[in-house]
Structure 1
Amino acid sequence: MSSASPTKTNEQVRLNPTVFFGSTALILVLTAALILFPDSAGAALARTQAWLSHSFGWYYMLAIGSYLFFVVWIAFSRFGTLKLGADHDKPDFSYGAWAGMLFSSGIGISLLYFAASEPLDHLYNPPEGTPGTAQAARQALQLTFLHWGVHGWAIYALVGLAVGYFAYRHRQPLALRSALYPILGERWVKGAAGHAVDIFGIFVTLLGLVTNLGIGALQVSSGLEYLTGMEHSKTTLLIVLLVMSLVATLAAVSGIEKGIRRLSNLNIILFSSLLVFVLACGSTLELLNGFVQNLGDYLNGLVLKTFDLYVYTGGGAAKSEEWLGLWTLFYWAWWISWAPFVGMFVARISRGRTVRELVCGVMLIPLGFTLAWLSVFGNSALDLVMNHGAADIGKAALEQPSMSIYLLLEHYPLAKIVIGVSIFVGFVLFLTPADSGSVMLANLSRQGGDLDEDAPNWLRILWSVIVTLVTIGLLFAGNFTAMQTVVVLAGLPFSAVLILFMFGLYKAMSADYERLYGHARPVARPAELNAVG
């Protein structure tokens, strides 16, 4: 039978020196290089990005496709009814509360940044085909859906499943290394291999948080520039970035979890209201038609686009390869960089859920809203640019993407008020993951304590400072392109860890299932498992 639920250890929380100093050394060396040698570092990153896209594009595509296939298969296989916990454990949260937290975990400030800018960028710079045409516009939404669709949520589901299954069913630490026990054994997992996994987990998570902070600062500063007429400069961006970091740090250590939770709930309401506002005040029928069309194009091309490396684009192969590195490969690495943080959060709220419930919940609950948001804002932006002469929105999408959504909202009633609300929405969208992310980084770099006990405040503050320093270094080294490149590079080694997670999960679940039912398929199974074949 499965293991009982984890019990209290009464062991004092303390710093894990190997993981902490190993990860901070890796991070600070990178930051120092970017701050001290911004031009040469930016050029080196650009060359590395081109090399990686050329050499490892095929690997990323196969890896992402494998993650998606694995989690869907395991959810609907005989293992789908195994629980994250003992067989008799009940979920810690109701379906409503659990679904709400899954929704919040998947909605971030990047949806404001890319809602209008990404489809317009694909319109003007498609990986194949003629720019600016109706076909390019249709392809733009298909590609945007691909980047924000089921592949990314499958990565979150995989990490959440791996961490939660071994923590709650096998009483291992709530850490990334725990999923490697079936493969490497206790000696290696508690030693060098386990330390390496947690170090890389911290590194890629920090870069994901850096990207979040960078996008947040760009988004909020652009909104303030629009409303107040402030000059767009690095000084303004730095001031906004430091203020946002300070507020996030205070939130992480102040113990006002209930306040942050209320802000998050308010933000979901405002975020949804913004979507309804644009849908109602725009060409509602055309937007609804467009959403259905976009969804059909996405589902129809799901397999093709999963493995599309644009090999057969003729003379434009080099351009397509560059586009792939800047967009699709960046997104896959970005999802991977967020996976340790979001996956551990998913694990912590999913004790008592079955494997099938976790996978279906993570992959489906936030997805519908995300695709609806991208379709409504993307099609609205494309319509204004292509049919109503709003060239300024298209120019902003290419030169200052964070400004494009404000220029879009300018064409709607009560524009100033709506833009002010969207700036507030963006700030809170940034604040919640920044707060939780600092806590997660601190938790991964400590040892001891109970399963649900968080790291001390000083460690959270230290990680908040490190995130801020790295963000400044990357922004001033080459703006967003530098961040994109480092995320892609950091995601490469951790993508191999996710492959090991799949083997570890399969091995452990096979053994657990055999212990429960033996070699023969049972005629009747325990009621709490509700198994299917």
Structure 2
Amino acid sequence: MNPADTQTAPPGTQERSRVNKTVFFGSATGILAIALWAILDRGSADAVIGTVVTWVGSTFGWYYSLIVVLVLAFVIGVAVSKVGKTRLGPDHSRPAFNLFTWTAMLFAAGIGIDLMFFSVAEPVTQFLEPPTGEGGDVAAARQAMVWTLFHYGILGWGLYALMGLALGYFAYRHNLPLSIRSALYPILGKRIHGRIGDTVDIAAMLGTIFGIATSLGIGVAQLNYGLNFMFGVPETTAVQIALIAVAVAMATVSVVSGVEKGIRRLSELNVVLAVALMLFVLLAGKTTFLFDAIIQNIGDTLSRFPGMALDTFAYDRPDAWLNSWTLFFWAWWIAWAPFVGLFLARISRGRTIREFVTGVLVVPFAFILLWISIFGNSALDLVMNGNAAFGEMAMSTPERAFYGLLEQYPAAPLSAAVATFTGLLFYVTSADSGALVMSNFTSHLKDADADGPKWLRIFWAMTTGLLTLAMLLVGGVPTLQSATVIMGLPFSVVLLFIMLGLYKALRLETALAASFRAGLPGVLSSRADSAAQDPRRGWRHRLARAMSYPGRRQAQRFVEEVVRPALEEVREELVKQGVDARLEEGVVEPVGIDTVDLYVELGEERVFKYQVYPVQHDVPSYAKSSGTGEKYYRLEVFSLEGSHGYDLSGYSREQVIADVLDHYEVHLEFLHQNREKLASSTVAESVVPKAEWESDYETVGEETLAPAGSPASTAPITAEKETP
């Protein structure tokens, strides 16, 4: 991919998305049927869900523990390996969002109001009723905090990292749809566009909507009590229905406005309020004790994590505890993985694999560690100092625990109001992000930056609300937890295939990079030989070229007089030798300079591409003079993987031809050396569609052309034409 592979047509000129009827009707029918069954026959639904979750827990408990560890080991291994430098997109692409906005969005989407719910309720519950031992002592308190951090720790975020990595890599580096099925392309090839791919997406939809409904059910229960705490609003089903309706309405407004306006701004506000609430408890409470506890929690978590990660309680199995806690959390993370993974990919284009994995594993968990340590230890301190009523409340009615803790501090009405508003934002950001992602799951998207139709986002926001209501009517939060354990199982199998597919694709990525490194000496040699053959292009010419900062007209003239004739000459010779080669041209509209592509089709092998694309830069201050403008243009070489980072300006026609042949020979050598790997991975067939362009360089203001990630709009490519 490159700065001009897949350009979206202006609004109204082509449809950017349409409904995938098979996935939409399949998932919608299943979800609505379950919701109606739960509403109309509550007793039967409760009994069946209870029976199935008991069977899943006793039969597949070991499997859930094993898969989350395997996923974490895999994503860390990929990040620290050489392939970790690979970008989720072309090599020249850069992040679209700054670090704060990115982490705020991934945190708000990945962890919602349930963090407020469990950060107080779980430490107290694990302290008073641990899976083993009597509880109620100092050892139980230390282990209670470790269990809470364990359940919200990097094992879960590893699942998110895997899905986001796979989706972002295949969508932005291989031009595949931003869909779960794309992650299986190396294994299934074009069959992902058929029934197998539809089945995978339906499984992802079922897991996703139950995972989101669980969070929303927890949120409704907690917000209802928050309103009761502040205003005396009764805790009834009618009030919860009203809260669901309000949240769905807010989520609809947010999701219709899109990522940039709605979800982004709500996420940023959400994190700011959450940090303020956390700092309030830290400073208003026992500050020194809390700092001591944070450090001790970190040490305990690090030292006990390896043993806990694969602890299946084989010799003394607390089935009810496992189903309610560890297995529920692993299934919940798995159920959320498609949703959060797709959302992470959607906002992470341009980041390296290493940066992406590190950010997803470290940044949110660092916040979670502080949050749970501050609120959890504050709650434990109350119970250990004799507040038995608070402990009983946290266990029996966990939705009240967070407000019960805030009640122990000054300005309780104000802090409760902030907590309620923060919880509402957590609720809405989970609902709107979920609706956006589910609309993408059930659509055929023209490009990875497109979203599903607005009416479809509204439909999924409302359907999520309906499912949440249905599960609450059956048995409340425990029933939602049980349903999540069940629904996470089918998609966990898909995760294994996703790891296999990503492994196959990244093996090729490593081999391709090695081929370029091996071919580099030949490239440099051919350039030197070409320069030596023309005495006019010796060291003085090189020095003049290094000090040259060509303007728009000079760059356009170079394309017309040197680049285009050189590529056309190579194309003609390839055609004479029976090779399917074509030349494609376009105009980079903001700068008015042509871009020229040479494509060589090699049957079922990976297509060869050599593109010359203008990239605009500011003239450095030391080079400015009365005759130099403010901007200059580099004519960079791009392949399918992105920019190679050097400028052709000043080359002779022969040197350009030599450079094309250097790249072509390296490409052929790559195909020769890696034919066995290529045969086992259909990613080798990746071809950039003729009529699709993609801009990774953007306009800033009216004329500046800068790497993607600037606060600007996409630079369109127009006047495309193909040389027959």
Please tell me the TM-score bracket, short chain as reference: over 0.9
Question: In structure 2, how many angstroms separate the alpha carbons of the residues matched to 1:346 and 1:257?
Answer: 14
Does the residue aligned with 2:249 lie in a helix, a strand or coil?
helix
Q: Give 2:381's aligned residue.
A: 383
- The within-5 A match list for 1:345-494 is 345-387=343-385, 389-494=386-491
Quote the offset at 1:353 in angstroms. Answer: 1.4
SS in 1 for 2:502: helix
1:82: how far off? 1.4
CA contact (8 A) 1:3 1:170 kept: no
Shift of 1:102: 3.5
Partner of 1:326: 324
Identity across the alignment (%)? 44
* Conserved 8 A contact 2:105-2:264: no
1:46 paired with 2:50, answer yes
Matched, 1:512 2:514: no
Q: Deviations over 1:53-100 (max 9, x none)?
A: 110001011100000000000100121111212222233334444344
- Give the secondary-structure state (helix, strand or coil) at the position aligned to 2:203: helix
Q: Is the 8 A contact 1:6 1:168 kept in 2?
A: no
1:338 lines up with 2:336 in the alignment: yes
Q: Are 2:62 and 1:63 equivalent residues in the alignment?
A: no
Per-residue CA distance 1:249-295 (angstroms, 9 max, x = gap): 23323569535533432222221111111111111111111111111
Q: Which runs of 5+ in 2 are unaligned?
A: 524-642, 646-724
| 2:253 is the counterpart of 1:241 | no
Q: Give yes or no for contact 1:107–1:370 (8 Å, CA) kept in 2.
A: no
CA deviation map 1:159-191 (0-9, x unaligned): 0000000011111011110011111111x2111
Residues 362/523 of structure 1: CA separation in 2 closer, same or farther (3 Å cut)? farther
Q: Distance in 2 between matches of 1:483 and 1:5?
A: 46
Structure 2 counterpart SS, 1:301: helix
User: Structure 1 residue 133: deviation in Å?
Assistant: 2.1
Matched, 1:162 2:160: no
Q: Equivalents in 2 of 1:484, 1:257: separation in Å?
A: 32
The change in CA–CA distance for 1:304 and 1:220 in structure 2 (over 3 A counts) is: same
Alignment partners' CA distance in 2, 1:215 and 1:521: 56
Q: Which moved more, 1:157-166 or 1:432-441?
A: 432-441
Contact 1:8-1:451 at 8 Å conserved across structures: no
- What's the secondary structure of 1:447's corresponding residue? strand
What SS does structure 2 have at the residue aligned with 1:14?
A: strand
Q: TM-score, normalised by structure 1?
A: 0.93
Q: Which amino acid aligns with 2:276?
A: S
Give the counterpart letter for 1:34 in structure 2. Answer: A
RCO higher in 1 or 2 (8 Å CA, sep ≥ 6)? 1
The one of 143, 159, 170 equivalent to 2:147 is 143
Question: Structure 1: how far apart are the matches of 2:516 and 2:323?
Answer: 47
Quote the offset at 1:519 in angstroms: 11
Residues 14, 527 of structure 1: alpha-carbon distance in 2 compared, 3 angstrom cutoff: closer
Whether 2:201 is the aligned partner of 1:198: answer: yes
Give the whole-Å Cα distance in 1 for the aligned partners of 2:312 and 2:230. Answer: 42
Using the TM superposition, give the Cα deviation of residue 312 of structure 1 relative to its aligned residue in structure 2, in angstroms.
2.6
Which has the greater radius of gyration? 2
Bigger shift: 472-481 or 2-11? 2-11
Q: In 2, are the aligned partners of 1:161 and 1:355 still within 8 Å (CA)?
A: yes
For residues 461-481 of structure 1, the C-alpha deviation after alignment (integer angstroms, 9 at most, x for no partner) is 211221111111100111111
Cross-structure match for 1:283: 286
The number of equivalent residue pairs is 520
What are the superposed Cα offsets for residues 179-215 of structure 1, whole Å, 9 maximum, x if unpaired? 11111111x2111111011111111111122112211
Query: What is the root-mean-square deviation in Å for CA atoms of aligned residues?
Result: 2.2
1:302 maps onto 2:300 in alignment: no
Query: How has the CA–CA distance of structure 1 residues 163 and 261 changed in structure 2, closer, same or farther, with 3 Å as cutoff?
Result: closer
Match of 2:555 in 1: none
The aligned residue for residue 122 of structure 2 is 118
Structure 1 residue ranges without an equivalent (≥5): 529-533
Amino acid at match of 1:30: I
Identify if the C-alpha distance between structure 1 residues 448 and 281 changes in structure 2 by more than 3 Å, giving closer, same or farther: closer
Partner Cα separation in structure 2 for residue 88 and residue 230 of structure 1: 55
1:138 Cα shift? Answer: 1.3
Are the counterparts in 1 of residues 109 and 433 from structure 2 also a CA contact under 8 Å? no
1:415–1:17 CA distance, 2 compared to 1 (3 A)? same
Which structure has the highest helix share of the two? Answer: 1
TM-score (norm 2): 0.69
Larger strand share, 1 or 2: 2
